[in-house]
Amino acid sequence: MALNMASNPGGFRGGDKVPVVIFSPLQRPLRPISRTSNIQSTAIVTQGDLTYCRATCHCRRCDLRVVFPTASLPIHNYLCNCTSCRHGTGEMAFHTARILGNPMDAETDGPFAVEVMDSYSPRDRLGVERFFCPTCSANMLVRIDLSLREEADKRGGEPEDCAFGRNRSEKPSEQELEEGFQWRVAGGALRNYEGIIQPMYHLNLASTMDGGVADHLRTFDGNQLIRYSEGVGSKVLPFEWHSPTLTDDQPEEISAFCHCRAVSVKVSRPDDRAKSLRSPFPDLIYPTDVTYRAKLRNPGDEKWWLRGPYKEGEPVRYLAGHCSCAFCRMTGGFDFQSGTFIPRFNIREADQESGRTIVFSQQESRPKGLKQYVSSPGRYHEFCGTCGATAFWWHVSRPNLVDLSMGLLDASVDGVRAEHWFEWHKSRVSNMQVSGSRKMVASLVEGLRQA
């Protein structure tokens, strides 16, 4: 959730001591994608009946191709907003598309060696295995064991359609039945899916309690996204719908946790420590590529991460927003990452007393369950090593002010957008000028204007 992607923010000024990072996992050498590479030219290749699409994670450990029947394109798809998808990825929604056969190696016609990925089998989805990059956390593939379909039906409790689950409207093919598996690929993991996947609706919005990201992402490519409360054909929920169980009465802390709960924290309201920090402006507020560096450094020491309303003169909310940079897309597997800026003093591990302060750069003070990916010098992405959910992002220019993935929030407290806690930045999507998902981000920008 790199909401501040300045190439060299250089805005660090006293106050926050730059830490010496002593925790660094073994990683393959980074091979970042250059903007001038031929990504687009190899992203989609059509050969007669078959169309091949390339999917790559940020660190490039996972580089593969998937196949779609050309005649089936574009696939009319949906964004799943269910609890399992949100907490399993840290994203506010997720989309995956069914592929033909198995994933293939990026360069050869052989199968992709799925063993290079980590996998996670959510307890609430029988026979479903999600695959993510163990180095950079990109959620990329889903494998569904077809032999467990009937048992899952009997057990019940699963949504009819889910990005990380079975899809009752999609009958298994003969080949899939023979092999016993069905595969899906994450849309955001594809280098390009224009003409391949066409999101048409939001699903499982009832679980968001407040419509979640569907109130921000209202259309795709000019078409209104239908807002189903559950599966296709279920009740349609209007904009600004809220579950009647939500109230203005809020607890002192709000919980955030990944699907497997290895990462579980609580966030408290801003306090004096939250105001004592200094930080340069993020790209979310001022585009870092066209703004004077002197301005980005925030010389007026504006506490831009703190937002009203005010209680006894003190701000009670934090700033939240969406980022669409290549880093967010390629580490998350979704088109954009939604995050909020929170001082680390206001985050505590759920099972710890409030006295223990989190320090991401010190092994003994890091939240449990996290794995760290250094996307480039000074930029740290923290994710759950068990279920692959994105959790935090921070930068040496602001080590005490971290981004938290909004998909981890406990929606039962204040809905997925949690507007009693966070003010959403609506005039801009971070890094929208360099987004790899142009149509999605243009739609998001438009939706935010209307929200």
- Cβ contact 330:39 at 8 Å: no
**DSSP H or E segment with residue 328:** helix 326-332
- Cβ contact 245:74 at 8 Å: no
Which residue lies nearer to Zn ion by CB, 104 or 325? 325
Which residue lies nearer to Zn ion by CB, 298 or 324? 324
Which residue lies nearer to Zn ion by CB, 196 or 387? 387
Shortest spacing between CB 386 and Zn ion, in angstroms: 5
**Do you find a cis peptide bond into 74, omega within 30 degrees of 0?**
yes
In 133-231, where do the E strands start and end?
A: 139-145, 181-186, 197-203, 219-220, 223-224, 226-227
| Contact residue for Zn ion among 51, 77, 89, 135 (CB under 5 A) | 135
| Contact residue for Zn ion among 387, 408, 409, 445 (CB under 5 A) | 387
Structure tokens at 303: 């506490």
92 interacts with Zn ion by CB under 5 A: no
Question: Which positions from 259 through 318 interact with Zn ion, judged by CB under 5 A?
Answer: 260, 262
| Contact residue for Zn ion among 73, 75, 80, 342 (CB under 5 A) | 80
Supply φ then ψ for residue 418, to 5 degrees.
45, 60
Give the x/- contact pattern for Zn ion in 220-259, rule: CB under 5 A. --------------------------------------x-
| Contact residue for Zn ion among 225, 323, 401, 409 (CB under 5 A) | 323
- CA–CA dist 268, 404 (Å, integer): 13
CB neighbour list of residue 53: distance below 8 Å, 6 or more residues apart: 43, 44, 65, 66, 67, 68, 185, 190, 191, 192, 193, 196
Give the x/- contact pattern for Zn ion in 159-198, rule: CB under 5 A. ---xx-----------------------------------
Shortest spacing between CB 346 and Zn ion, in angstroms: 22
- CA–CA dist 202, 441 (Å, integer): 16
85 interacts with Zn ion by CB under 5 A: yes
Half-sphere CA count of 401, side-chain side, radius 13 A? 28
Question: Which positions from 42 through 61 interact with Zn ion, judged by CB under 5 A?
Answer: 57, 59, 61
Which residue lies nearer to Zn ion by CB, 57 or 404? 57
Using CB under 5 A, which of the segments 82-90, 124-132, 146-154, 438-446 binds Zn ion?
A: 82-90
128 interacts with Zn ion by CB under 5 A: no
Shortest spacing between CB 329 and Zn ion, in angstroms: 8
CB neighbour list of residue 260: distance below 8 Å, 6 or more residues apart: 120, 369, 384, 386, 387
| Contact residue for Zn ion among 192, 198, 243, 386 (CB under 5 A) | 386
For residue 210, how far is the Cα from the chain centroid? 18
Shortest spacing between CB 336 and Zn ion, in angstroms: 8
Counting Cβ atoms within 10 Å, is residue 292 exposed (0-12), middle (13-18) or buried (19+)?
Answer: exposed
Shortest spacing between CB 197 and Zn ion, in angstroms: 16
Residues interacting with Zn ion, by CB under 5 A? 2, 57, 59, 61, 80, 82, 85, 133, 135-136, 162-163, 258, 260, 262, 323, 325, 328, 384, 386-387
